[in-house]
Amino acid sequence: MRHFLTLADYTKEEILEILELASQIKKETKNKEFKEYMPKQTLGMIFEKSSTRTRVSFETGIYQLGGVGLFLSSNDIQLGRGEPLSDTSRVISSMVDMVMIRTFGHEKIEEFTKYSKVPVINGLTTEYHPVQLMADYMTIQEAGLDKDLVVAYVGDGNNLAHSWLNLCAKLGFELRIATPKGYEVNSNILDRALEMAKLSGAKISIGNDPKVAVQGSTVVTTDTWVSMGQEDEKEQRLKDFDGYIVDQNMMSLAQSNAIFLHCLPAYRGYEVSEEVMEGSQSLIFEEAENRLHAQKGVMVWLDRKRNS
């Protein structure tokens, strides 16, 4: 049985296989052909943080695959009142067929997974957001930019940046990360990515100048400067991230056919300008829709692994 906790646990071949499956199911879905890949299966969806895309895409996704999703907000289940994760995991995984969790520290999802009888999918932790990156790469493939790919990530060295590091290290493209000083990526995650990059030939550069990162890139991406759980740091962060907005001037440094991606929700006027969000290079809504398709690929793949 496999889980989907970080992209570091997956090989390049496995990531591409899941994406191929996702594309095939997307085509079928677009033709209104809803094949029941997971009939009568239940997906438990535990949320300790807010969500629009993750919730809607997983719930819709499992339904279209022939199953049903259970939205379990930690405010409503006993987990929020202190029931241990180990007990929660053994109880829920004895009743459902697959679990998706959005939580805080990555060690929490690892703890849950240790006790789970069914595959567990990471729907975002403080450290990683792997399902988002599957949707992002699917969008890049569809835009025909997966060859000679140069991704510039501008902003906070957060869960998105870490998952970009893992994806790049596995698939072997070029990734340039520019963060303000003091907001760099986690050094352990970076070291691990650099180690994996030796195998794949990925090129990773880390710096503090967004213009250097964006120059000549084919994908420009960013994320909120204030992630969930960091609300108390908002005032300081807005000052520290001054100059890191992806605006049209910044985009003009990228290649002319470059695209802009953002996992959303986006804060216009902070990490990205209105003009870029709504501009012709922006594929943010295609990217958001691909959450549905990419995650259906992940769920079906995990289900097949369990049954093989």
Interface contacts to ligand CP, rule CB under 6 A = 51-54, 124, 132, 263-264
CA–CA separation, 132 vs 227, rounded Å?
15
Is 132 considered catalytic here? Answer: yes
Per-residue tokens: 157: 């060295």
**130 belongs to an annotated ligand binding site:** yes
**129 belongs to an annotated ligand binding site:** yes
Q: Is 226 helix (H, G, I), strand (E, B) or coil?
A: coil
Is 106 considered catalytic here? Answer: no
**Quick one: DSSP state of residue 186?**
P
Which residue is catalytic, options 55, 162, 291, 293? 291
Which amino acid makes up residue 228? Answer: M
Which residue lies nearer to ligand CP by CB, 124 or 154? Answer: 124
Which residue lies nearer to ligand NVA by CB, 75 or 248? Answer: 75
Told to check if 22 binds ligand NVA by CB under 6 A, we report no
**Residue 227 near which of ligand CP, ligand NVA, none (CB within 5-8 Å, type-dependent):** ligand NVA
Told to check if 263 binds ligand NVA by CB under 6 A, we report yes
Burial class for 138, CB neighbours closer than 10 Å (0-12, 13-18, 19+): buried
Which residue lies nearer to ligand NVA by CB, 112 or 225? Answer: 225
CA–CA separation, 263 vs 221, rounded Å?
9
The closest of 270, 281, 247 to 139, measured between CA atoms, is 281
Is 176 considered catalytic here? Answer: no
Smallest distance from the beta carbon of 264 to ligand CP, in angstroms? 5
CA–CA separation, 165 vs 191, rounded Å?
10
**Residue 187 near which of ligand NVA, ligand CP, none (CB within 5-8 Å, type-dependent):** none
Q: Which of 89, 139, 224, 295 binds ligand NVA (CB under 6 A)?
A: 224
Smallest distance from the beta carbon of 296 to ligand NVA, in angstroms? 19
Q: Residue written as tokens 């400067």?
A: 225
Torsion angles phi and psi, residue 69, rounded to 5: -105, 145
**51 belongs to an annotated ligand binding site:** yes
Told to check if 222 binds ligand NVA by CB under 6 A, we report no
First to last CA, the chain: 9
CA–CA separation, 302 vs 207, rounded Å?
36
**Residue 89 near which of ligand NVA, ligand CP, none (CB within 5-8 Å, type-dependent):** none
Stretch touching ligand NVA by CB under 6 A, among 138-146, 157-165, 190-198, 200-208: 157-165
Which residue lies nearer to ligand NVA by CB, 85 or 124? Answer: 124
Helices (H), 31-125: 53-64, 85-92, 106-115
Is 268 considered catalytic here? Answer: no
**Residue 43 near which of ligand NVA, ligand CP, none (CB within 5-8 Å, type-dependent):** none
Answer for the pair 20, 296: CB distance below 8 angstroms, yes or no.
no
The closest of 203, 199, 201, 198 to 164, measured between CA atoms, is 203
Stretch touching ligand NVA by CB under 6 A, among 28-36, 108-116, 156-164, 292-300: 156-164
Which amino acid makes up residue 16? Answer: L
Binding site for ligand NVA (CB under 6 A): 124, 158-160, 223-224, 227-228, 263
**Which are the catalytic amino acids?**
102, 129, 132, 223, 263, 291
